[in-house]
Every structure is written in structure tokens, then in C-alpha cells.
Structure 1
Amino acid sequence: MRKTLCTWLAISFMACCVGLAHAQTAPRVVDIPTRPGVTQRVLVLAPAEPKAVAILFTGGNGILQVADNGELRQGKGNFLIRSRQMFVDQGLMTVVVDAPSDRQTSPYLSGFRQTPEHLADIKAVMAWVRTQTGVPVWLVGTSRGTQSSAFVATELSGDPGKAGPDGLVLTSTILSDERGRAVPNMPLGKLRIPVLVVHHEQDGCRLCSFSEIPRLMDQLTGAPRKQLLSFKGGNNRGDPCEAFAYHGFNGLEAEVVTQTVAWMLAK
């Protein structure tokens, strides 16, 4: 009887620990004041005790139209957006960035990602996040979202951990762009934060050719820690520059997120 009771208590204790490890606060929609008359809406998902923060930047035109209840009216298929809960499950507070209130109509973030206004909006997001938790804050972009995250990181490179981010993750990076400045053409040598580059070797998007990755990595001369995580396989469906092609790590989401977060949290 005593042995059975002890066994039951042990199992109950282990179940309780597992439950605590996966405990999550209720998702929140927050409108952060930024420029005069403008707010920046974010969707916040977090474990009870986050180890770090991942601010996620979707690709394309950057519009998600986050509703008051947290529902996404657009863009929910994007790699980072559809994988957002995986970041939470790995222990990260996950902050999904929508277009700001003055960019909720076309062209949304097109032509806006490398502007002082966008910089002001994301600075406000990072400042708000730091009022919520004292853990490191990372910018994580995918596809055209890398043009947002890399721009903000380079512009704030002189103040990491305060106004600027503590780390940067670039997935499916824009490596060439006839419509704007590609990421390798930014002053990446200014960065003094860890930088992780995540790319699919079979990415068929003409703006994201894996053959251009060495040029990107060579620019990261000041990063105290940098690495390329490359992937093969998965599923390839539809437009090669869209979310369910190799470009969006279709079928590899769990593997990509797990390895990405492990690198972010490594000392």
C-alpha cells in the first residue's frame, strides 16, 4: 500500500511539473502608442516564465489585421506566424507584429519597412516588452520581414539590450531586391549582437537564392556569435516565394523552430 501511494505521489508530482513547464498566460492583444496618433498592434503569447522574447515579423506586405480577440484576418499561413505557438512551447514570449494603425490599408508595409516611422514603431514595441519582462529580446524576421528586423537592428546597433535588440534571427532572408535594399546591402558590420541565419538550401525564390548566403554571412564581421542553419527537404507547394514552398520551411516547422530557439538560448 505504501509503495503504491509513493508511486502515485511521484507520478502526480511529475505531471504537475510538466503542467507548470507548459503553463501559458492568456494571449493578449496590445495597442502600443508610438508616433503621434498612431498605435502599433501586437499579439502576445507567453509561457508563465519566459526565457527570452521573440518579436516576429511576417513577410510579404506585412499585414495580419489582428482582431481584438487575437484572430488573424490575413497572413496566418506565413512560416513564423503559423509556427508562433512552437516558439511559446520552447519557452519564449512571442510577440507577433502587425502593420501599425496608419498602414492598415494598401500598400501596408510595402515601401515602409526601412523608414524612420517603422523604426519608431518597433522601438516602442521593444520598450513595451521590456516593461513586461527582463529577459533578452530578439528580432525574428522571415522573407521581407528580414528587411524590417535587420533594418531595426542595424539602426539601433549602438544600443543593444536597451533601445536595440539583444539578438537577431533572419529566416529566408531577402538577399537581392529590385524594389528596395536587400539585407546584405545593409550595414551589417555594425551589429554587435548574436545573429542566426536560417535558410532552406532549395529555396526557389529568386530573391532568396542560397548561393547568396556567403555574401550575407561575410557581412557579419562584428557579431560576437553568428551561425548559419541550413535545411533541406520538406514540402514544396505553390509560388516559390510563398509560405508553403521550400521558402516557408513547409513540413519542417518544428525542426526549424526547435533548432532556432536552442541557438538563441545557448550561452
Structure 2
Amino acid sequence: MIGYQQRILRALGALAILWSLAIPSAGRAETPITVKGGETVTIAGVRSILIRAAHPKGSVILLTGGDGRLEVGSGARFGKAGDNVLIRNRDAFVMHGYNVLLAELGTNLSAAVDHMAAIKRPVIVIATSKGTQRAAEGLIGGATPDRLVLTSGFLSKASGPDDTVQTILGTPNRLPRTLALHHREDRCRWTLPAGVLPFQTWSGGRVQVEWMSGGQADEANPCRSSAHHGFAGQDEEFVARIVKFMMR
């Protein structure tokens, strides 16, 4: 009976995480977005959107937060997560000279890395919020990106949840060279700043940490893209920090 109750509590906790991180789209349908210069591609049976840079320096794979769904359709259209910090900055990464893959939920990360590597290396996986869990699961599944960027990450148990990048990986040996980019005032209960240092220490030197501060707060829900959790009002600095790491 105790084990059953624990499973129920875990399930409720997981639902609470999804609700708090996906709440911007709750209660109303988002207007479908057509990605300028994009194309719908199918990788291991799942449709994602690819944007090609004119003279690429490399390729990035973007893993959104929340429930991970983009609802990719034909003609480079998607229906969800347009306000996510990574998805809304897709064109900025292209302008910096990187091919960009907007990865749909369920995309096999290993296959996606191979797909982008065939176009242009290095391949960098950039994940945010709950997407950092999916990035870790992809590494476990055999994905071998050249670099990894974790923003507002579920990094260690001090971040808030039990299922974190650290606990999913089990060992730092699976990490490529990694950047953890975090906001000092992130108040989302699943990505607390307190989780960053334990993760960096555990990594044994594989993780570089960058902190941001300022920007806009969302007091109604600190887990929204419109909060410090989503680096609201700081898109230019956010992209610049990541690009600087990718070019090293």
C-alpha cells in the first residue's frame, strides 16, 4: 500500500511540473507559426523543422521546455511553444551562422545529432528547463553531440526535482563539454539556482557555468517563459553567451 501511494504521489508531482512549465499555452490555442526559411524534415519517424544557415559554422538542436511538444506540421509550421526562449530565438542562432533544428517531442536525439552532423559539425544540443531532462535521456540513449548547453536546467536534486540531469546520467563521463546558463533570480521551484554548483562540482570539470541577472520577472508564475526562468527581456545577451561558448 505504501509503495502504491508513493507511485501516485510521484505521478501527481510529474503532472504538477508539466502544468507549471507549460502553463503559457494552457486555456487557449496558440496561432500556428510558419518558420521563415525552414523546412519540415522527418528524423527516425518524427517531424521536426530545419533552418539552414547560408554559410554554416555548425549546427544546433533546440529542445524546448514544458511538455516538449511543438506540434510540427508540413510546410515548416508548428503550433506550440513559440514563446519558449530557445524557439523564439531560432533566427538569432541562424544569423550567427548555425543550422537550427527545432526538435519535436519524441525525436531520437542520437538520430538528430547524426542528421545534423551530416550537414555541418560541430553539433551542439541546446536544452532549456524540462528539455534538459530530455537531453540527458538522449545522452543515455547514445547521442554524441560535440557540446551541450543547459539553460534553466533540472541539474541536481538541489534544483528541486528528483529526476535531474545528474540523476539521469548517473556519471559525468557521459557529458560532452557543457555550458550551464542560469538566471540568479530564477524562482521556478524545479530549477532553483541552488542546484547549479552541486552539478558543476559533480561534473568534474566538464561543466562551465555562466550566470545572468536582471531582465523581467513574472510574479504570477515564475516558471513561464515571461519570467527570469525564460530570461525574459534578455534575448540578445542570452544568445550571445551561448554563441560565445559554442565558438570556443
Q: Is the 8 A contact 2:172 2:203 kept in 1?
A: yes
Show CA shifts across 1:136-191 (max 9, x none).
111110000001112323543xxxxxx51111100000144877511232324113
Please tell me whether residue 240 in structure 1 is matched to residue 222 in structure 2. yes
1:229 is aligned to 210
Q: Is the 8 A contact 1:60 1:143 kept in 2?
A: yes
1:193 CA displacement: 2.1
- 1:255 pairs with one of 222, 237, 246: 237
Q: Is the 8 A contact 1:41 1:99 kept in 2?
A: no
1:17-166 alignment runs, 5 A limit: 26-32=37-43, 34=44, 39-100=45-106, 121-133=108-120, 135-156=121-142, 164-166=144-146
Q: Is the 8 A contact 1:189 1:222 kept in 2?
A: no
Change (3 A) 1:192 1:247: closer
Q: Tell me, which stretches of 5 or more residues in structure 1 are unaligned?
A: 1-24, 101-117, 157-162
Please tell me whether residue 205 in structure 1 is matched to residue 192 in structure 2. no
Secondary structure in 2 matching 1:199: strand
Q: How far apart, CA to CA, are the structure 2 residues paired with 1:222 and 1:202?
A: 24
Number of residue pairs aligned between Structure 1 and Structure 2: 209
1:221 CA displacement: 1.4
Q: Tell me, which stretches of 5 or more residues in structure 2 are unaligned?
A: 1-35
1:176-215 alignment runs, 5 A limit: 176=157, 181-185=163-167, 186-191=169-174, 193-215=176-198
1:7 is aligned to none
Q: How far apart, CA to CA, are the structure 2 residues paired with 1:63 and 1:153?
A: 20
Q: Name the amino acid aligned to 2:227.
A: A
Q: Please provide the CA RMSD for this pair.
A: 2.0
Task: State TM-score, norm by structure 1.
Answer: 0.73
1:91 CA displacement: 1.2
Percent of paired sites with the same residue: 30
